[in-house]
Structure 1
Amino acid sequence: MFNKILVAVNNTEIGQQVFEEALTLTSSNNAKLLLLHVISPFDDDYLAASRMQTDEAYTNFHTHGVEYYMRQWEALKQKGIEFLTLLTNRAIAKDINAEFTQEVGDPSRLICEMARTWKADLIIMGRRGRSGLSEFFLGSVSNYVLHNAPCSVLTVQGAIPTTKNTLMTASTVSSV
């Protein structure tokens, strides 16, 4: 039986699937739910927010560039809080004891650290399906968490891209 379920979410299709799975498990176990959103320096949203415009106004006046960056950063954080608030309210509407937190840093380590601190019985998170060189160079949050979590981990599989080159049929093999 799970009493405390930590859910690592982001505002993506797989994030929505993770959240729906969490609602089902939390409700059936009458557990507490903690939604965790991590803003990572390697995330596309973070990188987009950190790009400063390069026109003359920002080049000549460094302070304007910093102010622009800070506004973008605050908007990114606010967007995350609004997303978490929406999910938390959906859970509460289903009579689930839910709360949220948003952190900045390495998602892999923060998920494990939060699970340890909050004494979670289960972590629910998504898996993008990275493998091979992509996983080697970019890392795998789910792989790290599976090997370092202080509790059980449930990964919800996202869509795995398929290409014709990766699937070999028997006729292709026999002709080689």
Structure 2
Amino acid sequence: MFTKVLVALDMSESAKVVFSQGLSLAEKYQAHLHLLHVLSAEEESSPVPIPLNLDEVYPATGNELTLELWREQWDKFEKQGIESLQHRCDQAVSVGVPTDFQQIVGSPGKTICQVAKDLGAEVIVIGHRGRWGLAEILMGSVSNYVFHHALCCVLVVPTQEPA
């Protein structure tokens, strides 16, 4: 039924559950597994975005120092993303599932949908943290965007972040 499974992951603890579901699906259908992490300032574990007017927010430091600090944090965030993807890729390959991964900077919902289209994925596996109503409207929901815009099936895995 499925030959290409796209698993959209972030850096949260709940990504383990999403990965597990995607891996199970790929194993069941002997499908190719593609792991994706979208680097975005929207992700909760990402470094705080740099404001346009640094002097108002960081009056005691020079712009160069603040930009350098943010760049170091962003580089660390990127490296952690690649390491996480590589680790999960190795796990999947060790159980016989052909797997690859990529990390892209962008808007998570739009990027996930575009990558799925470009890959020809038949299903996207994505997590949902349980935000509903006003919290979902204010915080946004990547899974909601993907569910409504993807051109393929979407499996939304309910996850609960640790308190």
TM-score range, shorter chain: 0.7 to 0.9
Structure 1 letter corresponding to 2:75: E
How many Å separate the matches in 1 of 2:15 and 2:2? 21
**Residues 1:50 and 1:77: Cα distance change in structure 2 (over 3 Å):** farther
Match of 1:44 in 2: 44
Structure 2 letter corresponding to 1:44: E
**Bigger radius of gyration among the two:** 1
Match of 2:127 in 1: 126
TM-score by length of 2: 0.88
Match of 1:20 in 2: 20
Residues 127 and 157, structure 2, Cα contact 8 Å, conserved in 1: yes
Structure 1 letter corresponding to 2:25: L
Structure 1 letter corresponding to 2:8: A
- Aligned-pair CA distance for 1:5: 0.3
TM-score by length of 1: 0.82
Residues 47 and 73, structure 2, Cα contact 8 Å, conserved in 1: no
How many Å separate the matches in 2 of 1:46 and 1:21? 24
Aligned length: 158
Structure 1 letter corresponding to 2:85: L
Residues 50 and 73, structure 1, Cα contact 8 Å, conserved in 2: no
Structure 1 letter corresponding to 2:32: K
Post-superposition Cα deviations, 1:23-44, rounded to whole Å, max 9, x if no partner, equal 1110111100100011221222
Question: Does the alignment pair 1:7 with 2:4?
Answer: no
5 Å-filtered alignment, 1:147-166, equals 147-159=148-160
Post-superposition Cα deviations, 1:134-164, rounded to whole Å, max 9, x if no partner, equal 1111221111111110100101111389xxx
Residues 6 and 34, structure 1, Cα contact 8 Å, conserved in 2: yes
User: Any stretches of 5+ residues in structure 1 without a counterpart?
Assistant: 162-176
Aligned alpha-carbon RMSD (Å): 2.2
Residues 123 and 151, structure 1, Cα contact 8 Å, conserved in 2: yes
**Residues 1:3 and 1:48: Cα distance change in structure 2 (over 3 Å):** same
Structure 2 letter corresponding to 1:66: L
**Residues 1:45 and 1:12: Cα distance change in structure 2 (over 3 Å):** closer
Detail structure 1 runs of 4+ shifted over 6 Å in the superposition.
Answer: none
Match of 1:173 in 2: none
Post-superposition Cα deviations, 1:60-118, rounded to whole Å, max 9, x if no partner, equal x4323222221111111001000000000000101111000111121111110100011
**Residues 1:68 and 1:5: Cα distance change in structure 2 (over 3 Å):** same
Residues 12 and 45, structure 2, Cα contact 8 Å, conserved in 1: no
Higher helix share: 1
Match of 1:170 in 2: none
